Structure 1
Amino acid sequence: MKIFGMGLPELILILAVVLIIFGPKNLPKLGGMLGRTVKKIRGRVEEDDDAASGAQTA
């Protein structure tokens, strides 16, 4: 399994570093913030795609 060119060992190492830096109590907050950010970005991309497709058909 490769995600962004990284295998499982690299992903585990990154997760361990994040856990050490932020601590286990802050991980749910961090995950929530990341999820909201991704949701906002996806919404903006979809809006831009809709606007671009509307401009092409007009």
Structure 2
Amino acid sequence: MVCTAEYRNKTLGWLGQREPVTIRILPPVETIGLTIEDVPALIARCHKEMAETIASL
């Protein structure tokens, strides 16, 4: 999973160059052995991890 800091409406100078964007690459998500019934919990877990990471950027 890749998380980025907020970058909307962040330009530098008259030319509109973008500011550098901070990103964080999270470890791979293990899915071996999961079934279709596990998908909602997996989505919730990934969403929580990403939200926490983005908040810390």
Report the TM range for the smaller structure's normalisation: 0.3 to 0.5
Q: Which has the higher contact order (CA 8 A, sep 6+)?
A: 2
For the pair shown, the structure with the greater C-alpha radius of gyration is 1
Task: Name the structure where strand makes up a greater proportion of residues.
Answer: 2
